[in-house]
Structure 1
Amino acid sequence: MATDETADIVVVGGGMVGLASAIALKDRGLDVVLCDPGEARARTSYGNAGVVSRGSILPMASPAFWGKLPAYLRNADRGLRLNYAHLPQVVAYGAHFMAAARASRWRRAAAALLPLTSAAYPAHERLAARAGTTDRLQRTGWLKAYRTEAAFASAALEREILAQHGVAFEILDTAGVRDLEPALVRPYARAMLLTETGSVREPGRLIEACETLFAGLGGRLLRGSVGRMTPEAGGWAVPHESGTVRARQVVLAAGAASGKIAGTLGYRFAVAAERGYHRHYALHPDSPPLTRPVLDTGAGSILSPMGDHRVRVLSGVELNARDAAPDYTQIEAASQEAAETLRLGGPLDNEPWLGSRPSTPDGLPVIGRAPRHEGLLFAFGHGHIGLSTGPITGEVVADLATGRTPAVPVAPFAPERLLRWPRLF
């Protein structure tokens, strides 16, 4: 039965960003309704590697892109797979991505992201304490591993930028990697250990705990998809599957669906849904545990411990339509590489998980007030750092909604920066 409700503010999207925003808004005394389809496994937050790193300041659009472009175009690099049938839908995104893949832009993005990522772990600690999930958050550091000295040397600019911004890391040789992570049976020539990094074990459980926290604060959670939002006198009407919610303000935090929803209001963001896969494996009973997430740069995939002697194997990026049939090529390759890196048992899932990251060409999220509609706030496009920076983004959203100055500078994340870009195609 269709029902109409009213609220001070509606948050569209129940991933980490949306939930954290809803909780922070409740803390400010607002009557909050959170609209979410309720498909827990479909949320990008559910399938995340769980990394919460101050060093996550370097977007995908890096200067190294140009050297890898021939391999990308042939689908010969496991870090990226293209569905050519979908490419016409992401031409604008691709053009702006290539424009951003310059050293000067990379440095600028790092400076913009640093205040956000620096505040990420403390915000996670505050949220975990309230949600009762402190046992799932640990400051383990995370490891970026290189199979050859040449691969390590090619990442010199990354290390230079991290050092410039005071991001702490240690360089390990083959013996150092083996001593730090004896579960890794593959020898690595070098590795970078980012020490100011935490990880969330089983991110999906964190999301569940945050939903419980939100409900306990008196927040209202409506299960249903939202495809559009309509401005009206004094606020907004947000239709969903069971009725309509009316409120003075709306926060659009619907992840990879945000671009389509914003499009109904005339906003044409050059954003893309980066699809990614994961699969869980048990470690061999005789294997030491894996104690921190590991990015294997040679495989273009991540190995992340999930507790109970389990490991989550995560693939690289797939550019494809959100609703396209799964293509397990990348996760199968990542799983094969993982079996040569760790002592794995059989898969623990019936089939691999698939989700879509909401990504912008310049690698910066979209956080701020809509330029043409009063009462509309954008909070999406976090790409690979949505889980990591979700809690601090929620606090920023609450500040903006209540007229306060955010603790983190948000000018670099303004929606106008993408809307001002020339439409190249």
Structure 2
Amino acid sequence: MSEQHATTAGDSCDVAVIGGGMVGLASAIALRERGLDVVLLDPGEARARTSFGNAGVISRGSILPMAGPALWGKLPAYLRNADRALRLRYTHLPRVLPWTVHFLAAARTSAWRRAAGALLPLTSAAYTEHERLAARAGTTHLLKRTGWIKAYRTDEAFAAAALERAILAEHGVAMDLLDGPGLRDLEPALVRPFARAMLLPETGSVGDPGALVEACAALFAGLGGRTIRAATRGLAPEAEGWRIDVEAGPVFARQVVLAAGAASADIARPLGYRFAFAAERGYHRHYALHPDSPPLTRPILDTGAGSILAPMGEARVRVLSGVELDARDAPPDHIQIEAAAREAMGTLRLGGPLDNQPWLGARPSTPDGLPVIGRAPRHPGLIFAFGHGHIGLSTGPVTGQIVADLATGRPPRLPLEPFSPERLLRWPRL
């Protein structure tokens, strides 16, 4: 990929995009397609991006945030770190107290329904935008409309998810409900018995998210975009635009897109934007399927284990852990991924791990589960595009088009009020 390193002061562009994950890359590509001179600022740690490490799910049904009404029944187990879906680092909780308070406040049925309605236009456009981007990047072979599965080990667990299915049905999300034998017929690689399952057939999947992101980076370079491999150390408004400080010297831009994922809140804070924000850390590790096992054909959320199994090629499975709430740069803690791997061994016929160490990344999380997309309220020329949580890879290409609309003065193609930065800044200080 063509790269430029800032070695002298005065490098300038129309738009600087901070962040090289799927949201930042898609934004940079869309801005180049509109004819703007774009510089992408990214530390270059490809494996650290959550776009690299997620399950590759592109689902119209990804409209229900973590903060839902079922949280209250699970809260005692969460607080004891007795549920594999969530692990709390108690020494870190004081640092995310505002996020925690507002997250719990969002765990209501009414808020869950509002979030679903807000996210639906974004997720509904996701697969089509991925197809368009993949055609440009030469990655169509990585996209498959396989659907994905939520599997339940007991009838009681399936019954407890009735509200989720009702909200999905209200928004026209297609689903097929399966019993245990029906699930086994659909996915013969499964050896664990499940009681029930929900298949979302409209869902697509990415067979190698890392390869998709790298291909998009190459597309951006091929369009004439410039990439500076450096972390952003400071962001300050100037008379005719913005100054972005990186290690080798400043970069000047008329507009800035802040799409740095979990680092975005730290970059925005010196400008006076104090978002209630948390890093949802997650782990994955790859395993080989046993040579005699049928292939796994679609991602599966094992709700009993709080983890996801995602095929990455015909004979490789990515095992993904639940959420860990800890500092973004804290040392890894492999308890969750080790537990997820043990459960996975009972669900599929797996061989040994294919990675020396588990992967670790940090998802950018807002309390209400909605991303922050829109113009900064107090700084003209600054556009926010972060906080996508678990749907950054999925909705990145859609967000990129919205960012390009904002930067070029066009009406955004989707309603942005639910994603407004002001909604988080209006919350009471704690």
Q: TM class by shorter-chain length? A: over 0.9
SS at match of 2:305: coil
Residue of structure 2 aligned with 1:289, choices 295, 298, 312: 295
Check conservation: 2:189, 2:349, Cα contact below 8 A: yes
For residue 241 of structure 1, report the CA deviation from its aligned partner. 1.6
For residue 2 of structure 1, report the CA deviation from its aligned partner. 3.9
Residue 222 of structure 1 aligns with which residue? 228
1:85-124 deviation line (CA, Å, top 9, x unaligned): 1010011000000000000000000000000000000000
Residue 156 of structure 1 aligns with which residue? 162
Residue of structure 2 aligned with 1:260, choices 266, 272, 287: 266
SS at match of 1:367: strand
Check conservation: 2:283, 2:358, Cα contact below 8 A: yes
One-letter amino acid of the structure 2 residue matched with residue 25 of structure 1: L
Residue 22 of structure 1 aligns with which residue? 28
Residue 256 of structure 2 aligns with which residue? 250
Residue 190 of structure 2 aligns with which residue? 184
In the alignment, is residue 329 of structure 1 matched against residue 335 of structure 2? yes
Which consecutive unaligned segments of at least 5 residues does structure 1 have?
none
One-letter amino acid of the structure 1 residue matched with residue 140 of structure 2: T
Residue 422 of structure 1 aligns with which residue? 428
Residue 355 of structure 1 aligns with which residue? 361
Residue 110 of structure 1 aligns with which residue? 116
SS at match of 1:311: strand
Residues of 1 paired with 2:8 and 2:354: CA distance? 40
Check conservation: 2:20, 2:42, Cα contact below 8 A: yes
In the alignment, is residue 386 of structure 1 matched against residue 404 of structure 2? no
SS at match of 1:264: helix
In the alignment, is residue 50 of structure 1 matched against residue 53 of structure 2? no
Residues of 2 paired with 1:414 and 1:12: CA distance? 19
For residue 349 of structure 1, report the CA deviation from its aligned partner. 0.2
SS at match of 1:127: helix
Residue 306 of structure 2 aligns with which residue? 300
Residue 15 of structure 2 aligns with which residue? 9
Matches within 5 A, 1:89-238: 89-238=95-244
Matches within 5 A, 1:397-416: 397-416=403-422
Q: Which segments of structure 1 move beyond 2 Å, counting only runs of 4 or more?
A: 1-4
Give the count of matched residue pairs: 424
Residues of 2 paired with 1:201 and 1:2: CA distance? 40
TM-score, with structure 2 as normaliser: 0.98
SS at match of 2:347: coil
For residue 3 of structure 1, report the CA deviation from its aligned partner. 4.3
The Cα RMSD (Å) is: 0.6
Residues of 2 paired with 1:247 and 1:322: CA distance? 28
1:186-244 deviation line (CA, Å, top 9, x unaligned): 01100000011000011000010001000000000110000321100010001112211
Residues of 1 paired with 2:232 and 2:180: CA distance? 50
SS at match of 1:322: coil
One-letter amino acid of the structure 1 residue matched with residue 359 of structure 2: W
For residue 77 of structure 1, report the CA deviation from its aligned partner. 0.3
Residues of 2 paired with 1:2 and 1:323: CA distance? 30
Instruction: Identify which range, 102-111 or 3-12, moves more after superposition.
Output: 3-12
Residues of 1 paired with 2:125 and 2:224: CA distance? 27
SS at match of 2:384: strand
Check conservation: 2:233, 2:247, Cα contact below 8 A: no
One-letter amino acid of the structure 1 residue matched with residue 133 of structure 2: L
One-letter amino acid of the structure 1 residue matched with residue 394 of structure 2: S
For residue 304 of structure 1, report the CA deviation from its aligned partner. 0.2
One-letter amino acid of the structure 2 residue matched with residue 381 of structure 1: G
For residue 308 of structure 1, report the CA deviation from its aligned partner. 3.9
Residue of structure 2 aligned with 1:84, choices 90, 107, 111: 90
Residue of structure 1 aligned with 2:401, choices 392, 395, 399: 395
SS at match of 1:54: coil
For residue 410 of structure 1, report the CA deviation from its aligned partner. 1.1
For residue 50 of structure 1, report the CA deviation from its aligned partner. 0.1
In the alignment, is residue 270 of structure 1 matched against residue 272 of structure 2? no
For residue 248 of structure 1, report the CA deviation from its aligned partner. 0.8
1:135-182 deviation line (CA, Å, top 9, x unaligned): 000000000000000000000000000000000000000111000000
Residues of 2 paired with 1:110 and 1:163: CA distance? 11
